[in-house]
């Protein structure tokens, strides 16, 4: 992250969503305002809240509540959809099974990915091969989550158009070979309430998710309304809270956008600490490049940064597989 930001800005993206496929989008005054705010937020913090996003707040709430219902079940029920290498790393992981920088994360989760069919990306796709596994309870879980995922994909594509303009590119700069057929990752996460010891409440600073960056282009975080737990690191190393703002998404930049922008934007470190006496639910949608995209700095960003590549290129699918295969305790 480039600056010592103290808070995360809130952006109303509705003017961008109204004009997202307009041929003269770059000339529109309302869109230009949104683009300017996106650019500032991406440079300063790599994080921003989004409102005016068009996803019904009732749906945002429903999926958190249905996730809460799922996590509330006994372990034997939850483990019916166990994540393993055989399921293409899809399914349920118990508390402490995901590790970040060698330490177990104090969260449980269901991981989902866009479907990968056999041979779809040659050998590159083998590890991720499979379709999502959904719990049978609550009964409408799959249907609701799939509807939500579709809406997040659509919203992310439109926000990425604004970010492409912010970088000085054309609106569809991040489509085609880069993200025309975007891969996505979806995590339904539950963080246990802070533990109580010696008969009195004591926050233990259990790390719900250790400091990390996200892997792709753009993340949409839908977090519980009443718990402050997500923290974002600024340039001096201070942890800045991203408190819930009901009805909004917390958005952040992933590693692939850092490379594409040649470092004009960075993927900011963040972590989760749930010190509240309540169980916290968060549903995170990750919009990523095409699985087989060879990601390298965009020409327009190279020109702005003096012409030298600040990062090695990366094949997105390889980056993902590298993470996924080292994220779990054996």
Query: Which positions lie near ligand AKG, rule CB under 6 A?
Result: 187, 189, 209, 214, 221, 223, 230, 270, 272, 282, 284
Verify binding: residue 111, Fe ion, rule CB under 5 A: no
Site string for ligand HRG, 277-306 (x = CB under 6 A): ---------x--------------------
The residue count for the chain: 330
Q: At closest approach, how far in Å is the CB of 187 from ligand AKG?
A: 5
* Inter-axis angle of helices 57-71 and 141-166, nearest 10: 130
Q: Of these partners, ligand HRG, Fe ion, ligand AKG, none, which one is at the site of residue 203 (CB under 5 to 8 Å by kind)? A: none
Candidates 52-60, 94-102, 119-127, 142-150; binding stretch for ligand HRG (CB under 6 A): 94-102
Q: Determine which residue in the list 8, 185, 188, 264 makes contact with ligand HRG, applying CB under 6 A.
A: 185
Q: At closest approach, how far in Å is the CB of 52 from ligand HRG?
A: 25
The three-point CA angle 90-94-95 to 5° equals: 130
Dump strand ranges (E) for the chain.
10-12, 47-51, 91-93, 99-100, 103-104, 108-113, 120-123, 184-191, 196-197, 200-201, 207-212, 218-223, 230-233, 239-241, 249-253, 270-273, 280-287, 294-295, 314-315
Instruction: Rank residues 140 and 241 by Cβ distance to ligand AKG and give the closer one.
Output: 241
Q: Of these partners, ligand HRG, Fe ion, ligand AKG, none, which one is at the site of residue 87 (CB under 5 to 8 Å by kind)? A: none
Verify binding: residue 266, Fe ion, rule CB under 5 A: no
Token pair for 119: 């041979």
Contacts of residue 210, Cβ cutoff 8 Å, sequence gap at least 6: 99, 100, 101, 103, 105, 271
Q: What are phi and psi of 257, to 5 degrees?
A: -75, -30
Site string for Fe ion, 202-241 (x = CB under 5 A): ------------x---------------------------
Do residues 288 and 253 lie in contact, with contact meaning Cβ atoms separated by under 8 Å?
Answer: no
Q: At closest approach, how far in Å is the CB of 111 from ligand HRG?
A: 8
Q: At closest approach, how far in Å is the CB of 204 from ligand AKG?
A: 17
Residues within window 227-286 making contact with ligand HRG, judged by CB under 6 A:
286
111: left (phi over 0), alpha (psi -120 to 50) or beta: beta
Instruction: Rank residues 232 and 298 by Cβ distance to ligand AKG and give the closer one.
Output: 232
How many Å apart are CA 240 and CA 247, to the nearest integer? 20
Contact residues toward ligand HRG (CB under 6 A) are 98-100, 185, 209, 212, 214-215, 286, 323, 327
């Amino acid at each position: 992250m480039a600056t010592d930001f103290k808070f995360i800005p809130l952006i109303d993206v509705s003017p961008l969503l109204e004009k997202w496929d307009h041929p003269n989008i770059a000339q529109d005054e309302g869109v230009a305002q949104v683009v300017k705010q996106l650019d500032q937020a991406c440079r300063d913090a790599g994080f921003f809240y989004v409102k005016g996003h068009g996803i019904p707040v009732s749906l945002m709430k429903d999926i958190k509540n249905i996730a809460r219902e799922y996590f509330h079940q006994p372990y034997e029920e939850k483990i019916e959809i166990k994540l393993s290498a055989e399921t293409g790393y899809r399914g349920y992981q118990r508390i402490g099974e995901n590790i970040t920088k060698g330490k177990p994360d104090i969260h449980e989760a269901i991981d989902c990915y866009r479907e990968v069919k056999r041979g779809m990306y040659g050998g590159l796709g083998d590890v991720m091969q499979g379709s999502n596994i959904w719990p049978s309870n609550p009964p409408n879980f799959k249907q609701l989550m799939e509807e939500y995922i579709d809406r997040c994909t659509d919203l992310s594509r439109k926000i990425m158009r604004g970010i492409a303009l912010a970088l000085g590119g054309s609106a569809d700069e991040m489509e085609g070979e880069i993200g025309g057929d975007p891969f996505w990752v979806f995590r339904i996460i539950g963080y246990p309430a802070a533990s109580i010891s010696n008969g009195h409440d004591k926050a233990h600073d259990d790390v719900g998710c250790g400091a990390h960056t996200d892997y792709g282009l753009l993340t949409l975080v839908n977090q519980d309304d009443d718990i402050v737990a997500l923290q974002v690191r600024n340039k001096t190393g201070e942890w800045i809270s991203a408190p819930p703002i009901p009805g909004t998404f917390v958005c952040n930049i992933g590693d692939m956008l850092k490379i594409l922008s040649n470092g004009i934007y960075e993927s900011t470190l963040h972590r989760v600490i749930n010190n509240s006496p309540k169980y916290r639910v968060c549903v995170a949608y990750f919009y990523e490049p095409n699985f087989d995209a060879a990601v390298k700095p965009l020409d327009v960003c190279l020109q702005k940064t003096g012409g030298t590549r600040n990062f090695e290129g990366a094949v997105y699918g390889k980056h993902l597989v590298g993470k996924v295969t080292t994220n779990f305790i054996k």
